[in-house]
Chain A
Amino acid sequence: MSMPDLTSAAGAPVINMGTAIRDGLLEAARRDPSVIFFGEGVEDPGALFGTLKDIGKHIGHNRMIEMPIAENGLIGIAIGAALAGKRSVVTLQRVEFALLALEQILNNAAKMHYVSRGNHKVPLVLRMIVGRGWGQGPEHSQSLEAIFAHVPGLKVIMPAFAEDAKGMVTAAVEDDNPVVVIEHRWSHYTTSAVAEGYVHRPLDGPRTVRKGDGLTIVATSYMTLEAVRAADRLAEAGYPVEVLDLRVIRPLNLDPIVESVARTRRLLTVDTGFRMFGIGAEIASEVTSRCFDLLEAAPVRMGLPDHPTPSSRGLVRGFYPDAARIARTAAEMMGVDEAEIARIEGKILADRGDVPIDVPDPFFKGPF
């Protein structure tokens, strides 16, 4: 699987996305002494899944601030430091810990620039990790980007590929706004060639990762990888589809999506989060408003079903959208006949083989 649109680093070392994020953060911190890191276990042996590994050794341990177990205070303090000129980078082990700090994030981080009529700035990065898999269950694996994306003043990004992630976290640290970075734990394992040194990827909107005219898939985070796998099997069978990696949830840049759907006339969205009131709902609604006369099929949204995420690998069968289901849905929207759909689906299921459903498919390690 090559990613010509995203990988600029021919001959560069192949590393995983978690390491690329660490490299991007370190690079940004080296260039700007006002960057400081906060976290619970910010320099512990795990180093937040390795994403903060040895940063303190390079920039000074005084810039690595170990936080008490106090998320609302922690994030409020990081916002206060940002008001006084620091660039605060907070890392949370799971998305759910941010829920303890919603008051600070939604009121103070999101609104201070606005309320102050531009007098204050809040350069803040809030990294939080979606802990899918291995029975993590109802309160350790949620993908709650829709909550943050609802609030004007926040930026929300979800990188899916290693080099892009490196450049995006650097851009997030350099941004004068609060940026929520939602990292899918399974994306941390994906590998690609990543340029060394300084990489900057603007937080400007979606990227096309597969080209095709049959249908447009807009996917977020790890679901982009599932969509790419579906797209490759569909293309082999003669049904090329376009895949857009959304990357930046807010501010939402709809133009490339509208441009693609105007050509393909069909839209399928695939979220890592809940389908109801999710990111896909916003995209489908906006695209339908702008392209209603051009659509040949009703937009379809895929996402998590309308119940919490259970722990048991028995209960999560069918819970997450996967490449096979994405391919089937896309093919049905394009009017492909059932026998053909079953063949494509069968190939994807054979690709996965007997890998258990609660761990990442090694296929997705890349390199992409």
Chain B
Amino acid sequence: MTKMAENDYRLRCMRQMLRIRLVEETIAERYSEQEMRCPVHLSVGQEGTAVGVCDVLRSEDRVFSSHRSHAHYLAKGGNLNAMMAEIYGKRDGCIGGRGGSMHLMDPDAGMMASIPIVASSIPLATGTALSDKFDDNGKVTVSFLGDACLEEGVFHESANFARLRGLPVVYVCENNLYSVYTNLADRQPERPLTDVAKAHALESRHVDGNDLDAVREAASWAVETARTGTPTFLLLDTYRWREHCGPNYDNHIGYRTEEEFQTWRVRDPLERYRKQLEEAGILSAGSYAELERTLQAEVDAAFTFAINSPLPEPNEARAHVYA
């Protein structure tokens, strides 16, 4: 299964989506223990975008993310044990407890940084693309951003510059319809979001973000186009199942409806893909169950690793203020 999963992107991507789902469901389940003492923004329901995009990247390509970074970090190959230890605030965290869930990074895996201020990482991604163009090293940078980023000036500043300079960067907009509790319709006029990219002369594709194959195909175009020096924009429609920040469902508190959630629930990127692969005869129910057991064991081991890692000492907080 593992070898086959590596060779066939479909199995590889399904495995990665399932792995991310199990990690985050386990976070949600154990969050009330109050040992993960930092805000967590879960990507449950949005795994298709992270996995479909990152699967077409080379290991040396770069990714920047935001406050909702778990799926991007794992899909780009970030170390799971280090991620969980970071969320637990432990010394073996990917940055030793300095950032928590909102600052996940693993530069060796190309996961450059996660920045929790909305849109703040977009110019950083544009800047690494500028440097890589200078070095002519063939690397592409992916900037994951949300629908609200199109309201931030720095997106426009960055997109304008990327197009002007022909930078190898892909702006991936995951439109999950909400900024915290506020619907897109209350924040932006009705218009195709791709028109915003078009205003900066960026070529774009718009696909269902919960359709893994569609995401992957669009991402493949976007990344390879960017690699030739033409920056691109991807608009991926998706939906966050749980609350903006925290482990709970919040369909009852009044900003969105249970009906809306259910229409997205049936478009679950993971379940859809599992069925698709079963129907194509690539995956059996038995092998899926076995995969789930194997991955859950890996996830549980990562939680155990994090729990057993020591808290960092207060004197460590003074290190690395200056290089």
Given A72-B123, A72-B157, A80-B126: A115 touches B131 (CB 8 Å cut-off) = no
Q: Which stretch (B114-122, B177-185, B190-198, B235-243) binds chain A?
A: B114-122
Residues of A within 8 A of B117 (CB): 103, 107
Interface residues on B, range: 35 or more
Give which listed residue, A36, A79, A104, A153, contacts B134 with CB less than 8 A. A36
Q: Are B132 and A73 in contact (CB under 8 A)?
A: no
Given A116-B105, A116-B107, A153-B322: A79 touches B160 (CB 8 Å cut-off) = no
Q: Are B130 and A80 in contact (CB under 8 A)?
A: yes
Give which listed residue, B95, B113, B161, B323, contacts A70 with CB less than 8 A. B161
Residues of A within 8 A of B123 (CB): 72-77, 79-80, 104
Give which listed residue, B99, B126, B131, B134, contacts A73 with CB less than 8 A. B126
Q: Are A80 and B322 in contact (CB under 8 A)?
A: no
CB distance from B48 to the nearest CB of A (A): 27
Q: Could you give, for residues 89-110 of chain B, a 1 whenever the CB lies within 8 Å of some chain A CB and a 0 otherwise?
A: 0000001101100010101000
Q: Could you give, for residues 77-118 of chain A, a 1 whenever the CB lies within 8 Å of some chain B CB and a 0 otherwise?
A: 111111111101000000000000001100110001111111
Chain B positions 285-323 with a Cβ under 8 Å from a chain A Cβ? 319-323
Majority SS of interface residues in chain B? Answer: helix
CB distance from A250 to the nearest CB of B (A): 10
Q: How far is the CA of A207 from the CA of B131 in the complex (A)?
A: 37
Q: Are B99 and A115 in contact (CB under 8 A)?
A: yes
Give which listed residue, A76, A78, A251, contacts B154 with CB less than 8 A. A76
B18 interface hit (Cβ, 8 Å): no
Given A67-B161, A115-B98, A117-B95: A108 touches B134 (CB 8 Å cut-off) = no
Residues of B within 8 A of A120 (CB): 107, 112-113
Q: Could you give, for residues 254-265 of chain B, a 1 whenever the CB lies within 8 Å of some chain A CB and a 0 otherwise?
A: 000000000000
B5 interface hit (Cβ, 8 Å): no
Give which listed residue, B98, B120, B131, contacts A84 with CB less than 8 A. B131
B153 interface hit (Cβ, 8 Å): yes
Given A79-B124, A80-B125: A74 touches B157 (CB 8 Å cut-off) = yes
A121 interface hit (Cβ, 8 Å): yes
Q: Are A83 and B124 in contact (CB under 8 A)?
A: yes
Q: How far is the CA of A223 from the CA of B156 in the complex (A)?
A: 40
Q: Are A81 and B157 in contact (CB under 8 A)?
A: no
Residues of B within 8 A of A82 (CB): 127
Q: Are B126 and A108 in contact (CB under 8 A)?
A: no
Give which listed residue, B95, B130, B134, B157, contacts A115 with CB less than 8 A. B95
CB distance from B162 to the nearest CB of A (A): 9
Name the residue of chain A whose CB is nearest to the CB of B62: A84
Give which listed residue, A85, A113, A176, contacts B131 with CB less than 8 A. A85
Name the residue of chain A whose CB is nearest to the CB of B169: A80
Given A108-B115, A113-B322, A152-B321: A103 touches B120 (CB 8 Å cut-off) = yes
B128 interface hit (Cβ, 8 Å): yes
Give which listed residue, A67, A76, A117, A251, contacts B122 with CB less than 8 A. A76
Residues of B within 8 A of A289 (CB): none
Q: What is the count of residue pairs linking A and B with beta-carbon distances less than 8 angstroms?
A: 138
Q: How far is the CA of A138 from the CA of B158 in the complex (A)?
A: 29
Residues of A within 8 A of B320 (CB): 113-114, 116-118
Q: Are A104 and B120 in contact (CB under 8 A)?
A: yes
CB distance from A66 to the nearest CB of B (A): 9
Given A70-B161, A76-B122: A114 touches B115 (CB 8 Å cut-off) = no
Name the residue of chain B whose CB is nearest to the CB of A72: B154
Q: How far is the CA of A152 from the CA of B156 in the complex (A)?
A: 29
Q: Are B128 and A81 in contact (CB under 8 A)?
A: yes
Residues of B within 8 A of A188 (CB): none
Give which listed residue, B135, B153, B161, B323, contacts A177 with CB less than 8 A. B323
A11 interface hit (Cβ, 8 Å): no
Chain A positions 127-167 with a Cβ under 8 Å from a chain B Cβ? 152-153, 155
CB distance from B168 to the nearest CB of A (A): 12
Q: Are B157 and A70 in contact (CB under 8 A)?
A: yes
Q: How far is the CA of A86 from the CA of B127 in the complex (A)?
A: 10
B1 interface hit (Cβ, 8 Å): no
Give which listed residue, A76, A103, A113, A117, contacts B127 with CB less than 8 A. A76
Q: Are A83 and B112 in contact (CB under 8 A)?
A: yes
B164 interface hit (Cβ, 8 Å): yes
Residues of B within 8 A of A122 (CB): 323
A45 interface hit (Cβ, 8 Å): no
Residues of A near any B CB (own CB < 8 A): 36, 62, 65, 67-68, 70, 72-86, 88, 103-104, 107-108, 112-122, 152-153, 155, 176-177, 251
Residues of B near any A CB (own CB < 8 A): 62, 95-96, 98-99, 103, 105, 107, 112-113, 115, 117, 120, 122-132, 134-135, 153-154, 156-158, 160-161, 164, 319-323
Sample (29) of A-B pairs whose CB atoms are under 8 Å apart: A70-B154, A72-B154, A73-B153, A73-B160, A73-B161, A74-B123, A75-B123, A76-B124, A76-B126, A76-B127, A76-B154, A76-B157, A77-B158, A80-B131, A81-B130, A83-B113, A84-B62, A107-B117, A108-B115, A108-B124, A112-B113, A114-B98, A114-B321, A115-B103, A117-B98, A119-B105, A122-B323, A153-B321, A155-B322
Given contacts A70-B161, A85-B135, 15 further A-B contacts (CB under 8 A): A70-B156, A73-B153, A74-B161, A76-B123, A80-B123, A84-B135, A108-B115, A112-B113, A113-B322, A116-B98, A116-B105, A117-B98, A117-B319, A118-B320, A120-B107
